[in-house]
Amino acid sequence: MKKVLMLHGINHNMFGKRDPVQYGTITLAEIDARLQALGVELGARVESFQTNSEAQMCERIHRAFEERQDAVLINAGAWTHYSYGIRDALAILVCPVVELHMSNIHAREPFRHQSVFAEIVKGQISGFGIQSYLLALRAAVAEVDTK
């Protein structure tokens, strides 16, 4: 069974309460349950991790390297646009990394248009709400299956 790590970034613990126009009313627990269910269908065990601490996020990414995760999904939230620390941690990984966002970051405020992760991730999926997570998982598993 493939091991896939889902990394949720800053403020994602507030999904379901925070800005329902951008993020809908789905909670983080509901997102994780949907990912785990799809993972079973795809032959992958999905582990989720959420933190509001940049240092903890980097440490979890380092641990993903040591654990030899087969793929990593990341929705880093605002860190996407400025965290070179998380970017450098992700660059250590040898597995496919898929960046995802519920909202279309390219249709939002100008400061959100840039991803400092873009040049090191396999790909980016944004703008599809909860489907961004499910599409990212499908893409990551497909990428692992082609190797």
pLDDT digits (tens, 9 = 90+) for 47-93: 999 999 999 999 999 999 999 999 999 999 999 998 999 999 999 99
Is 113 known to be catalytic? no
The pTM of this model reads 0.93
In tens, the pLDDT along 2-17 reads 999 999 999 999 988 8
Question: Which residue of the set 8, 12, 101, 133 is catalytic?
Answer: 101
**Domain 2-145, CATH class in plain words:** alpha beta
Residues 70, 143 contacting (CB under 8 angstroms): no
Question: Which residue of the set 12, 23, 82, 133 is catalytic?
Answer: 23
